[in-house]
Each structure stands twice: as structure tokens, then as C-alpha cells.
């Protein structure tokens, strides 16, 4: 009997999704703050089309057609050949006809390498949404963290994904510029969001895993970690700098200090009020709150 492979991680919004592994690990695997696949001992390797199709068949036998959403992993399926992805998506949609949404992680550099025609073919085959780790819109922060992309590429790749008809989720990482670059980190990211207007801006707080390369930089003094209050101020500055009509803003991860959600631009004022009310609390209450929030990947 064929046993389908399992993913290492998925976005929180895919908690109820059918999970399909189309590639193992991350082909880039260089971001200083990450190391997730090293942590789980998963080196990058390609899967054959035959293996992936057999997984889909086995998942169908195991669960039946009960899912309304599906997620393709691991790190960057958008880096795969367009024809491969189209074949996987067509088989997935045929095998699970009740799927209403199929999504995947994708690096901006992978979206940039694909033509608009290729991205459109992938979307037409059934990929509705791509989750992209923007992390920062600042070139200096992106370089410091070895993200392998740039402000310009994040704008161009994001616009291309939207033009291909895909929903775009951009992930922003509070604290990634440390104490030195935080203002540029926030302002340059807001510029990308305002220009691209992704469907979603999803916020996470930097968690420095002791095994990550970034942890070594903290130890050597090369990177000065943002304070908890500093990340809340970053969040406020980011929202204040946004002018992105129709975008959904979501701090939808357990490690955020403030679960701020809203639709831009209408709910910008309400989101800022939530942060201001928190910052107006007595210091001991704010510190107690910071200490109560888990630091998790």
C-alpha cells in the first residue's frame, strides 16, 4: 500500500486543508532566521510526478472527498516546472472535486522566474492562492538575512501573481531588522504592500531559534534583537503607513503580541486604536502580557 508523505509545516490558515507534498524541504535554505527544514532534518529533494500522483490517490482512499481546501508543500512548489505543477493540480482537482481552494508557498524569486503565461496556466489548473514570505521590503534587511530577493522583485513578482489571477498572501516578520534597521524595515515593507496591494498581509513576530544562523549573530553582537515593545511599535508604524484599499490585514499567528485583524483602509483607525489602548496600559501590565505570549515558530 502506498503511504503518502507528510509536510513539515503549513500556514495556520491551512489547518483544515488536505496537505500534499510536492517537493521536500527548501531549495534555498539560506535565510538566516529560518533553518526550519534543518531543524526537522529534511534536506531539499525533488519528488517525481509519479510519486506525487500516487500520494494524491492514497489520500483520496484514506479520507474520501471531504476537503474543501488543499495546500501544496514543502517550502517553494512555485519553483517547480510549470508543466509539473499543472499536472499535479489537474490530478488533485479531478480526484478531490469538492476542493474550493488550493494554495502553496512560493518564493518571490520563483514567481519572478515564471512568465505571466506560466503563472496563469498554473492558476487555471487550480492554484488559487500563493503564500509568499516577504519578511521585509527593505533591501538592507533582506540582504542581512540572506532572503535572496529584493524590494523591486517583491513588487514585480507580487504584481505578476495578482495579474495571473492568484490571491496573494504576503508574510511580514516583525523584528527582522533588529534594533538598527527597524524603521527602514517597516517603511520599505509598507511601500511594497501599498504598491502591490496583496489580498492578505499576514504578520508574524521574529522568533530566533537557538539553532538558527541568526542566533549566532545575536551571540556575536552582529544582530541586536528588537524588544517586545519595539515589535508592537513596529506593528503600529506599519499599519499607520498602509494605504492599501481592500487588503485584509491579519496577525494570525500565536506568537503575535496583539491579535490585530482588519480590512484596509476602512479598519485602519480601529486597528491603531487597539494598539494605542495597549500601549497606554501600565508598564507592568504590558510586560506581563509580553511574558504570557509563547515564542514559537
Q: Shortest distance, CB of residue 89 to ligand SF4, whole angstroms? A: 21
Q: What is the rounded distance in angstroms from the CA atom of residue 212 to the CA atom of residue 53?
A: 34
Q: How far is CA 82 from CA 47, 104, 125, 251, in A?
A: 14, 14, 10, 32
Among 5, 29, 140, 225, binds ligand SF4 (CB under 6 A): 29
Between 75 and 247, CB nearer to ligand SF4 = 75
Residues in region 98-137 near ligand SF4 by CB under 6 A: 107, 133
Between 29 and 120, CB nearer to ligand SF4 = 29
Q: What is the rounded distance in angstroms from the CA atom of residue 274 to the CA atom of residue 289?
A: 14
Among 31, 92, 134, 214, binds ligand SF4 (CB under 6 A): 31
Between 185 and 236, CB nearer to ligand SF4 = 185
Among 7, 70, 72, 75, binds ligand SF4 (CB under 6 A): 75
Q: Shortest distance, CB of residue 207 to ligand SF4, whole angstroms? A: 12
Among 7, 21, 22, 28, binds ligand SF4 (CB under 6 A): 28
Q: What is the rounded distance in angstroms from the CA atom of residue 198 to the CA atom of residue 193?
A: 7
Total residues binding ligand SF4 (CB under 6 A): 10
Q: Shortest distance, CB of residue 103 to ligand SF4, whole angstroms? A: 15
Among the candidate windows 29-37, 151-159, 214-222, 247-255, which touches ligand SF4 by CB under 6 A?
A: 29-37
Partnered with residue 201 across adjacent β-strands are: 170, 249
Among the candidate windows 31-39, 62-70, 205-213, 220-228, which touches ligand SF4 by CB under 6 A?
A: 31-39
Between 60 and 79, CB nearer to ligand SF4 = 79
Between 23 and 201, CB nearer to ligand SF4 = 23
Query: In the sheet that 248-250 helps form, which strands lie side by side, from edge to edge?
Result: 18-21, 69-73, 101-105, 129-135, 167-174, 200-205, 248-250, 261-263
Residues in region 34-53 near ligand SF4 by CB under 6 A: 34, 36
* Contacts of range 265-269, beta carbons closer than 8 Å, 24 or more positions apart: 268/239, 268/240, 268/242
Q: Shortest distance, CB of residue 35 to ligand SF4, whole angstroms? A: 7
Among the candidate windows 24-32, 170-178, 218-226, 255-263, which touches ligand SF4 by CB under 6 A?
A: 24-32
Pairing of strands 69-73, 129-135: unpaired
Among 23, 26, 192, 247, binds ligand SF4 (CB under 6 A): 26
Q: How far is CA 245 from CA 16, 199, 200, 248, 262, in A?
A: 29, 10, 11, 9, 11
Neighbours of 114 (CB within 10 A): 22
Contact 40, 100 (CB under 8 A): no
Q: How far is CA 49 from CA 21, 23, 54, 61, 121, in A?
A: 11, 10, 9, 19, 18
Answer yes or no whether residue 202 interacts with ligand SF4 by CB under 6 A.
Answer: no
Residues in region 133-162 near ligand SF4 by CB under 6 A: 133
Per DSSP, the three-state class of 88 is: helix
Q: How far is CA 169 from CA 172, 211, 247, 269, in A?
A: 10, 28, 10, 22
Q: What is the rounded distance in angstroms from the CA atom of residue 129 to the CA atom of residue 99?
A: 13
Among the candidate windows 27-35, 124-132, 233-241, 284-292, which touches ligand SF4 by CB under 6 A?
A: 27-35
The footprint of ligand SF4 (CB under 6 A) covers: 26, 28-31, 34, 36, 75, 107, 133
Amino acid at each position: 500500500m502506498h503511504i503518502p508523505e507528510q509536510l513539515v509545516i503549513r500556514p495556520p490558515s491551512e489547518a483544515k486543508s488536505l496537505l500534499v507534498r510536492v517537493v521536500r524541504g527548501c531549495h534555498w535554505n539560506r535565510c538566516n532566521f529560518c533553518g526550519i527544514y534543518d531543524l526537522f532534518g529534511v534536506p531539499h529533494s525533488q519528488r517525481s510526478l509519479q510519486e506525487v500522483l500516487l500520494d494524491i490517490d492514497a489520500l483520496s482512499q484514506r479520507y474520501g472527498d471531504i476537503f474543501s481546501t488543499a495546500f501544496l508543500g514543502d517550502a517553494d512548489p512555485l519553483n517547480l516546472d510549470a508543466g509539473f505543477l499543472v499536472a499535479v493540480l489537474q490530478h488533485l482537482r479531478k480526484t478531490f472535486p469538492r476542493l474550493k481552494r488550493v494554495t502553496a508557498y512560493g518564493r518571490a524569486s520563483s514567481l519572478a522566474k515564471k512568465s505571466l503565461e506560466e503563472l496563469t496556466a498554473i492558476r487555471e489548473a487550480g492554484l488559487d492562492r500563493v503564500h509568499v514570505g516577504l519578511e521585509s521590503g527593505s533591501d538592507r534587511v533582506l540582504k542581512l538575512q540572506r532572503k535572496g530577493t529584493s524590494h523591486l522583485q517583491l513588487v514585480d513578482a507580487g504584481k505578476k501573481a495578482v495579474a495571473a489571477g492568484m490571491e496573494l498572501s504576503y508574510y511580514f516578520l516583525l523584528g527582522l531588522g533588529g534594533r538598527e534597521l527597524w524603521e527602514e524595515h517597516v517603511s520599505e515593507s509598507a511601500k511594497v504592500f501599498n504598491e502591490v496591494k496583496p489580498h492578505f498581509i499576514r504578520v508574524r513576530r521574529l522568533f530566533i531559534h537557538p539553532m538558527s544562523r541568526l542566533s549566532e549573530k545575536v551571540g556575536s553582537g552582529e544582530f541586536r534583537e528588537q524588544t517586545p515593545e519595539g515589535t508592537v511599535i513596529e506593528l503600529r508604524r506599519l499599519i499607520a503607513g498602509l494605504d492599501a484599499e481592500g487588503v485584509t490585514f491579519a496577525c494570525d499567528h500565536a506568537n503575535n503580541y496583539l491579535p490585530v485583524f482588519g480590512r484596509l483602509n476602512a479598519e485602519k483607525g480601529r486597528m491603531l486604536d487597539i494598539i494605542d489602548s495597549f500601549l497606554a496600559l501600565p508598564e507592568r501590565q504590558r510586560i506581563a502580557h509580553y511574558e504570557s505570549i509563547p515564542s514559537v515558530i
